[in-house]
Structure 1
Amino acid sequence: MNPMVSIIMATYNRAHFIKETLNSISAQTYSNWECLIIDDGGTDNTKCVIAPILEKESRFQFLKRPNDYAKGLPGCRNFGLDLAKGNYIIFFDDDDIVHPQNLELCVQELEDTDVYFCRYIRNVFFENFDYNFDFSKEYSSFYIDEKDIDRMLKNELPFNSCAVMWKSACLKENRFSENLMYAEEWELYSRILSAGFKGVSIEKCLFFGRKHPNSNTGEFYSNNSIRKDSYVEAILLVVQNLKEKQLLSTSLKRYFVTLSRGFKEYNLFENILKIFDLPTSEKLKWQLFYTTLPLRLFVYRIKKKVLKKI
């Protein structure tokens, strides 16, 4: 019998963290799953560390990424997607902790035929994890669809990579862009949402991300050039997709133009403006917006300080 849920986990030199992550998956209250662990060419002793788990638990599979998938997280995940047998797909990282009810509650929500993904809350932790889980099954929820793409892209409604379970139909035509080394899930998930898939968000924390400087996010905020290059490319892919689907609202145009100020060395504003493909008058309007943005932000901060003192 095929598993209902396919967990896809890319790993690279995480022997010091992965065992704790796999143990949290083994502790799931829902049992009908497979976990595909895709090694990205690591050089540490990950396989030796998890060998006892692999021997004891057949639901885990340890596989090497083939060379016809690009090195990196997206390539590993795409390889996993091509092997996955489950009706539902979820991506877990190799250094985090999964709430015991994660799969159970997501599967329960996805039994609704009109719902194609289940988003939930993800919290973070540093160093040692506190295993004092909340096992309550009472939580609020709300629906998400195409109209929420603004909030998703602006991170007002975060879609963390490991905080969504998808029906496999969402990923049939949508795969990770293998040339991206950062923001790959942000780009892919916005594509899925813009394709018209409706989902549900449950207000319960079901995943705990470990914070450490060697994570992709940690490297991005340390100005790693590979991560920054990838983010710029992801932004352009997102803008192009929204333009093609006629979902590029004025609010999103303003957001991306504002965002481009932080990437002047990439000529990001000029490249975004090309994708907008606007009439001359509207193009001039956005050029003026971009040029005067620093002054307006300065005035805004001054006003904010003044209002605080009143």
Structure 2
Amino acid sequence: MAEAYVSVVIPAYNAAHTIEATLSSVYSQNMDRIQIIVVDDGSLDNTYRIATEFAQKDSQGKTFIIVKQENRGVSAARNTGIDLAKGKYLFFLDSDDLLEPDCLSELCEEAELTNSEIVMCGFDEVGENGTVLTPFEQHYRFPNKGIDGTKLLKLLLKKSTKIWTSSAIYSSSLIEQSRLRFTEGAKFGEDQEFIFKAVFNARRTSCLEKTLSHYVIRERSTMRSRGLSHFHYVASMLRVHNYLVKSGSSEEILSLIRKSKIPEAYMDVFALLVRGGNNMEMLDILHRHKAIRKQISNTSIMVDSLMWLKSVLLLYAPKIMYSYWQKTNQ
């Protein structure tokens, strides 16, 4: 384990109220040789100062790189971090999320023991006060150890399991050899896009059957904001499909994306727009768009029966779906 070395990339934008706790959770990891890279993406608050002052702590085997760049979005910030990373493994952590003290050591140890290019763990969704809102095992199961990337990708697309931005480490050589970067300019779905592409290219993956990271749900988070920019999520899934086509993916995987993931992306966006109080006339125009209707109509009952039912209702009884979305957070 002594030779394992991990770079933690933390993009930050106006994170003055959370960055110190996030950095503390990395600083408190029970391993050394951790490179902590904070990329301040043009913050207008004290994020950069707080991160810089934190970096003055006694290193305890950790090294810090704190950089500030003009505001270009989270993908650009993560890409800057990748370019600066020197570790054998890469780990991405958002500036308001937290890790268990043994998260990185256990992930790196598993990667070394199994020669895996990606190692995932469980994660819980927690409130700002630390209360667990959604345990990982409530909706997902842990995949088998030692499976290749295509098998893991199928499980991800079938929603049997899930990798969150901060619940896996990646071999740096995998990222470089696959020439993977986050899509700059994408506002939503860019993390899933990166994860799906990385998993597809992995020869071997592994899993730790325990929860080691915490996704903090905040009332004012970006994903809870409203607007047509959420269609970036659909674009991300379309890019995944096109990437896999060019990479020679199996028809089974491509079908899962076309018949489940892309329609699901549309459903998520429409639900966000409705719950945001947007004009129903605008939403009616959107759901009547020929290209959108065609992609939603691809939903297969054999792939995802619930998504198929929602797609049918949206296409042929939109008022029912609008009413449902207004009353629920599902």
- TM-score normalized by structure 1? 0.76
C-alpha distance in 2 between matches for 1:71 and 1:149? 29
Q: Deviations over 1:177-220 (max 9, x none)?
A: 1121111111111112222432111111111111112323323x
Is 1:142 the equivalent of 2:161? no
Query: What residue is the counterpart of 1:293 in the other structure?
Result: 312
Correspondences of 1:226-237 after superposition (within 5 Å): 226=229, 228-237=230-239
What does residue 259 of structure 1 align with? Answer: 264
Q: How does 1:1-310 map to 2 (within 5 A)?
A: 4-58=5-59, 59-65=63-69, 71-112=72-113, 114-129=115-130, 142-144=145-147, 145-172=149-176, 173-219=179-225, 223-226=226-229, 228-244=230-246, 245-249=248-252, 250-256=255-261, 258-259=263-264, 262=267, 264-265=286-287, 267-270=291-294, 293-294=312-313
- Cα contact 2:118–2:170 (8 A) shared by 1: yes
Offset of residue 292 of structure 1 = 8.4
Query: Is the radius of gyration larger for structure 1 or structure 2?
Result: 1
Aligned residue identity for 1:182: F
Once the two structures are TM-superposed, the CA of residue 31 in structure 1 deviates from its matched residue by 1.1
CA distance 1:5–1:257, shift in 2 (3 Å): closer
Name structure 1 gaps, 5 residues minimum. 132-138, 275-288, 299-310
Normalising by structure 2, we get a TM-score of 0.72
1:127-183 C-alpha deviation (Å, 9 max, x unpaired): 22379xxxxxxx996234312323213433111011110110121111111121111
SS of corresponding position for 2:145: strand
- Aligned AA (2:221): S
Q: Percent identity?
A: 24
Relative to structure 1, the CA distance from residue 50 to residue 179 in structure 2 (aligned partners, 3 Å threshold; closer, same or farther) is closer
Q: Per the alignment, do residues 24 and 38 of structure 1 end up closer, same or farther by CA in structure 2, a change over 3 Å counting?
A: same
Counterpart CA distance in 2 for 1:111 and 1:63 is 30
CA contact (8 A) 2:297 2:311 kept: no
Determine which structure has greater relative contact order: mean sequence separation of CA pairs < 8 Å that are 6+ residues apart, divided by chain length.
Answer: 1
CA positional deviation for 1:251: 4.1
Which sits farther off after the overlay, 143-152 or 248-257? 248-257
What are structure 2's unaligned runs of at least 5 residues? 133-141, 271-285, 299-307, 318-330
Q: C-alpha separation between the residues in 2 aligned to 1:295 and 1:84?
A: 45
